[in-house]
Amino acid sequence: MKITSGDYKYRNIEVPRGIRPTTEKVREAVFSMIREWIPGAAVCDLFAGSGAMGLEALSRGADKCWFSELNRQNFRILLGNIDNCKAGEKSVPMNCDFKTALARIDTTLDVVIMDPPYDQLDYYPQAMEILQERGLLDEGSIVVAEHLYDNKLQETYGDLTRIKEKKYGSIGVDVYMIIAKTL
């Protein structure tokens, strides 16, 4: 697997055994969909696995990415991928669960990428609630949620509203945003 565009284009990404990485086709489509949010962005790649999504964001101009990966073996591979892309100065890798990771982030995020194990449907509402409770999102921040298309996500999670919903084969990608409230 390779980074598809930007500064790290064509860099190899090692994929840990037993995970389901976001395919290059879906990554390309997702970043085409969210390209306006990436330059200069603060990004969080929850459930990072290989880190391909976060590294793709850095490659395309994001300023910083927090990576959260609980599995130690996957985390070692993630560290190797960050090193291979020479992205260490822009990366904050965390070997912990998503709740602990979100508790460690102390800045507003522009883009959050969520791709939990597909059988963990409760992770989506939990993560979206924590992001809002901790003030990690602002008006205009987006959350990109990858899931099995048949496992429909909600239209809203608190102040987050789905603004895009796409299908790529059996994969669904929903983009949520905190919309400015009018008085």
Question: What's the pLDDT tens digit per position in 53-103?
Answer: 999 999 999 999 999 999 999 999 999 999 999 999 999 999 999 999 999
d(CA 69, CA 174): 21
Q: Superfamily for 24-178? A: Vaccinia Virus protein VP39 (3.40.50.150)
**Mean pLDDT, rounded, of the chain:** 94
Residue 151 DSSP SS3 = coil
Confidence (pLDDT) at 183: 46
Q: Are strands 91-94 and 111-114 parallel, antiparallel or unpaired?
A: unpaired
Least confident of 26-30, 112-116, 118-122, 146-150: 118-122
